[in-house]
């Protein structure tokens, strides 16, 4: 079967590598870029599905794993379905239609080419400058401070730094990326989480545990929301950064640690220093290389970029009619301030792709929710945008009805929706045939 697949794919113009053992395949995945992978679930030296899940855990948003298609027998279909739920692109059961498999792989490879062509951080000048500086920073910088509003992508930048530091998947295993949200850790647990503890150090300490400093040894420690760290813990953090050694709770001697430190916050640390809420000596210790990530409202060209990227990602992960955006929807979404930045935009796209009744994403699916009781008042900003979008939709449908003499059938066809969908929208928007044009047969 392997020889047959090799012959057919090469005849179709694919460049193909065939590995008979998973150990060889993993090494190849670390050394070169592949657009897609076909794998059996049962392999001589490993479980192909489990290896895929392990690789998926190691990958991050900036280092995407190529899409996997699994080959299996009827007895293992449940296992293949589980792998698809976890993120696999597809599976085929033996015997399979080779022509359809070739078509599927062509589609996956074309989508993969689109992914590789995307800018790493965005298309705006500000994000391009940060992306261009990242290889140099990863090679030389020991400490970074990333600031910006919530949701702008500070952790994404930190993971890109880690990617450039590692250079390959194998290196990523020996150079860990450890992320800690300082705002989410209770003060009573923070010391144990950061420094670790020895067995018997306190009630319930039945075994020794390494803290995040030790876990990040040789790699990157990402301290998110450093501005929310208590003053007492700031002093202990400063000691670790100065001495490069950590003492576990209940321990006697220190353990040497070597890691790159990336701190991130949405707060103004300089103002906090002036107010006495953040240690001045720690501030100057972490403010070596300062990267400010602008909010989306200051780099609107990235809104369109991320819109298309998130829709493409959704289409890649779901086997259904591909969702798509039109210029009118993009134009309307560009006018929104996106106070939640990239995180809000990503969630809005995901929700719109799921709830949209058609493949074409219209503006209203981004800011209305048919699955939720809309009685509770929405936040003022979202409500004002929803009202604006509703007014635009009403005017657009009204013009279409007028252009087609109020005929529902012709208007619905022109809009690309069903008659029933048009009637429902007209009722929701308070439109009627009588207002929009002379009544005639629909």
Beta strands in 243-352 (DSSP E): 245-246, 255-256, 260-265, 289-292, 324-325
Residue whose structure tokens are 């900036």: 62
173-177, 311-315, 367-371: range with highest mean pLDDT? 311-315
pLDDT of res. 20 = 87
Domain ranges of the chain: 2-116, 138-294, 299-436
Q: pLDDT-derived band of residue 298, with 50, 70 and 90 as boundaries?
A: very high
Cβ-proximal residues to 257 (8 Å cutoff; 6+ apart), any chain: 213, 214, 216, 217, 240, 244, 245, 246
Model pTM score: 0.59
- Residue 290 burial by Cβ neighbours in a 10 Å radius (0-12, 13-18, 19+): exposed
Distance CA 397, CA 205 (A): 66
Same topology for domains 2-116 and 138-294, yes or no? Answer: yes
Q: What is the arithmetic mean of pLDDT over 19-35? A: 80
Architecture of domain 2-116 in CATH?
3-Layer(aba) Sandwich (3.40)
pLDDT of res. 267 = 95
Q: pLDDT-derived band of residue 368, with 50, 70 and 90 as boundaries?
A: low
pLDDT of res. 251 = 80
Architecture of domain 299-436 in CATH?
Orthogonal Bundle (1.10)
Q: pLDDT-derived band of residue 439, with 50, 70 and 90 as boundaries?
A: very low
Residue 344, pLDDT > 90, answer: yes
Query: Does 208 or 285 have the greater pLDDT score?
Result: 285
CATH of domain 138-294: 3.40.50.300
Distance CA 170, CA 23 (A): 12
Among 88-97, 103-112, 151-160, which stretch is predicted with the lowest mean pLDDT?
103-112
Query: Does 394 or 285 have the greater pLDDT score?
Result: 285
Distance CA 153, CA 264 (A): 10
As a whole-number percent, the residues of the chain with pLDDT over 90 amount to 31
Q: What is the arithmetic mean of pLDDT over 75-82? A: 77
Q: What is the arithmetic mean of pLDDT over 193-222? A: 86
């Amino acid at each position: 079967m392997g020889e047959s697949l090799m012959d057919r794919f090469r005849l179709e113009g694919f460049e193909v590598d065939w590995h008979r053992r998973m150990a060889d395949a993993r090494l190849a995945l670390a050394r070169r870029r592949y657009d897609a992978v076909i794998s059996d679930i049962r392999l001589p030296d490993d479980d192909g599905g489990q290896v895929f899940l392990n690789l998926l855990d190691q990958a991050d948003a900036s280092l995407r794993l190529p899409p996997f298609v699994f080959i299996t027998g009827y007895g293992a279909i449940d296992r293949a379905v589980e792998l698809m739920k976890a993120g696999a692109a597809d599976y085929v059961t033996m015997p399979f239609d080779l022509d359809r498999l070739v078509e599927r792989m062509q589609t996956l490879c074309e989508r993969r080419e689109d992914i590789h062509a995307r800018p790493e951080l965005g298309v705006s000048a500000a994000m391009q400058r940060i992306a261009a500086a990242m290889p140099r920073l990863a090679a030389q910088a020991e400490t970074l401070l990333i600031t910006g509003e919530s949701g702008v992508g500070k952790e994404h930048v930190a993971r890109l730094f880690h990617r450039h530091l590692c250079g390959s998947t194998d290196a990523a295993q020996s150079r860990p990326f450890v992320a800690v949200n300082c705002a989410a850790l209770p003060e009573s647990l923070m010391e144990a989480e950061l420094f670790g503890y020895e067995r018997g150090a306190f009630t319930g300490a039945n075994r020794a545990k390494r803290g995040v400093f030790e876990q990040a040894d040789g790699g990157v420690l990402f301290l998110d929301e450093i501005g929310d760290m208590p003053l007492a813990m700031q002093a202990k953090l400063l000691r670790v950064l100065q001495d490069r050694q950590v003492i576990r709770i209940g321990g006697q001697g220190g353990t040497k640690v070597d890691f790159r430190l990336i701190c991130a916050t949405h707060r103004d640390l300089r103002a906090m220093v002036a107010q006495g809420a953040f240690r001045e000596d720690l501030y100057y210790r972490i403010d070596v290389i300062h990267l400010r990530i602008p909010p989306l409202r200051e780099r609107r060209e990235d809104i369109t970029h991320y819109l298309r990227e998130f829709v493409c990602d959704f289409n890649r992960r779901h086997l259904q009619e591909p969702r798509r955006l039109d210029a009118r929807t993009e134009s309307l979404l560009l006018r929104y301030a996106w106070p939640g930045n990239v995180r809000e935009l990503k969630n809005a796209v995901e929700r719109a792709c799921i709830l949209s009744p058609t493949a074409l994403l219209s503006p209203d699916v981004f800011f209305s929710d048919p699955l939720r009781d809309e009685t509770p008042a929405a936040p003022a900003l979202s409500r004002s945008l929803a009202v604006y979008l509703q007014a635009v939709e009403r005017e657009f449908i009204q013009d279409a009805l007028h252009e087609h003499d109020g005929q529902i059938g012709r208007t619905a066809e022109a809009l690309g929706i069903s008659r029933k969908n048009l009637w429902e929208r007209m009722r929701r928007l308070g439109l009627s045939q009588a207002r929009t044009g002379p009544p005639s047969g629909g």
